[in-house]
Each structure stands twice: as C-alpha cells, then as structure tokens.
Amino acid sequence: MEIKYFGGNCIRLQTKKVSVVIDDNLEKLGQKSSSKPTDIEILTSKKLLSPTSKSEFLVDTPGEYEIRDVSIQGVAARAHIDEEHVKSAVCFRLIIDDVRVCVLGHIYPDLSDEQLEAIGMVDILTIPVGGSGYTIDAIGALKLIKKIEPKLVIPTHYDDKALKYEVPQADLESVRKTFSMEPAEELEELKIKGREFAEGTRLVILKRQQ
C-alpha cells in the first residue's frame, strides 16, 4: 500500500486493486482535485466538506462498509466547531491490505472509551494539527495519539503557503516540537509492505504532492 499527502486533510491510500481518497477539498484550497472516477471517496465532515462528484463511491456517514477490498468503519464524533452532544463529524478506520488506518478529521480532541473501542487497534493514524479553532491543535492531537496508540502518525492540515486555508494554521515545526517524536521520517510517499511495524509510535512527515 502507498500513502500520499496532497495538502489540507487530503490523503490517498492506494494498492494495486483499490484507491481511496480522503477529504479532497483541494479546489477550495486553491489546488487541483486529486480524485479519480475509480476512487472510493471518504469525507470526515458534511458541514465542512463537499463531495467532488468525480468518484465511484462516496462514504460520509457513520457505519460499516465493505467496498471492493476495503473494510470501512465510520464512527460519529463531535466536530471541533460543534456544540457539546452534537456529532456532525466522522472518524474512519479502514483496513486495506490487512493494514489498519485511522483517519481523523476536524474533530473535538476528546474521544470516549466507546469511540476508541469502535476505532480499535490502529497501525497508521492521520491527524490534522493546524488548530486556530478550526481543527485539532498539536496539544489536542498529542492527547489523541496517546489514546489511540498507533504505530505511525502522519500529521495533516498544517501551514502551507501554497494553500488557501480559511484560517491560519500552525506551522509544522512548532507541531513537531510539541510532539517530541524525533527523529521523524520525511518521505515523498509512505510504502507499507505487510504489518511489520517497530515498537512504539513514530512520526512520518509526508511531503505534499505537487
């Protein structure tokens, strides 16, 4: 499986058989959409994101889904902008090639034991870190990382001068200092073969695809 980062909260998970694109609002951010007609498209928030209308399948609600060779578990969560007891966002846990990937959107940085149980064991976690009242900040992200205990963490939605965010986002360097998870791997893309992961939690920085 290959994982690529396109900016914002947009991630692509791809194998030889299937491709999943997550939170592709790149056109709103001043970039070109990365979605393809054969993709499975996943959106973590109906309030903040709209489907691209390019993909073959769309998943944007809680529930269990089996699409092609991908198992998807959507867990309702409070969005960062929601009032208490409102759950307009969705956390997703995907199993692709036997690798368990958890995708967090712009959620309030507090998951219950019930939500964590539904998410289950996680190999790779993608998590926004930009803060500024729009999404999770570095402190909230670290809190969730410690609860979820993934093997790899991929930060998303941080400051990038090429992107037109609605509100300014924290720079990646300040996020890395808060995480204190050095050394971090910096990659063009992440390639996963099997489920052999080192002990503990490692930080992986994916460069935005041009």
Confidence band for 88, pLDDT divided at 50, 70 and 90 = confident
Question: How confident is the model over 163-199, as pLDDT tens digits?
Answer: 999 899 999 999 999 998 877 889 999 999 877 787 8
Provide the pLDDT confidence category of residue 54 given band limits of 50, 70 and 90. Answer: confident
Residue 191: strand, helix, or coil: strand
Give the chain's mean pLDDT: 92
Q: Which residue has the tokens 């900016």?
A: 7
Give the DSSP H or E segment for 59.
Answer: strand 57-59
Peptide bond into 37 cis (omega under 30): no
Q: Is residue 45 part of a domain?
A: no
Domain membership flag for residue 13: no
Mean local confidence (pLDDT), 25-50:
88
pLDDT for residue 120 is more than 90: yes
Residue 35 lies in a domain: no
Is 49 inside a domain boundary?
Answer: no
Q: Which residue has the higher pLDDT, 21 or 46?
A: 21
Contact 5, 156 (CB under 8 A): yes
As a whole number of Å, the CA-based R_g of the chain is 15
3-state SS, residue 113: helix
pLDDT at residue 133, rounded to an integer: 85
pLDDT at residue number 49: 74
Q: Pick the residue with more confidence: 80 or 202?
A: 202
Q: Looking at residue 113, what is its pLDDT? A: 96
Task: Decide if 43 is inside a domain.
Answer: no
Neighbours of 114 (CB within 10 A): 9
Span 38-46, mean pLDDT? 91
- 100 is a domain residue: yes
State how far the Cα of 33 lies from the Cα of 26, in Å rounded to an integer.
5
Q: Is 137 a domain residue?
A: yes
At 114, which helix (H) or strand (E)?
helix 113-119
What is the pLDDT at residue 165?
Answer: 92
Determine the 3-state secondary structure of 66 from DSSP.
strand
Domain of residue 120: give its range. Answer: 62-206
Amino acid at 138: A
pTM for the complete prediction? 0.93
Q: Report the number of distinct structural domains present in the chain.
A: 1
Of 23, 44, 6, which is closest to residue 162 (Cα–Cα)?
Answer: 6
Q: How confident is the model at residue 52 (pLDDT cuts 50, 70, 90)?
A: confident
Element (H, E) at 69: none
* pLDDT score recorded for residue 99: 94
Identify the weakest region by mean pLDDT among 45-54, 99-108, 127-136, 141-150: 45-54
CA distance 6 to 60: 19
Q: Is residue 28 part of a domain?
A: no
CATH of the domain at 186: 3.60.15.10
Residues 39, 21: Cα–Cα separation, whole Å: 6
- In the 8-state DSSP scheme, what is residue 141? H
Cα separation of 202 and 164, whole Å?
29
Tell me if residue 26 falls in helix, strand or coil.
coil
pLDDT digits (tens, 9 = 90+) for 135-160: 999 999 999 999 999 999 999 999 99
Residues 1-18 pLDDT 10s: 999 999 999 999 999 999
- Digit-coded pLDDT (tens) for 125-140: 999 999 988 899 999 9
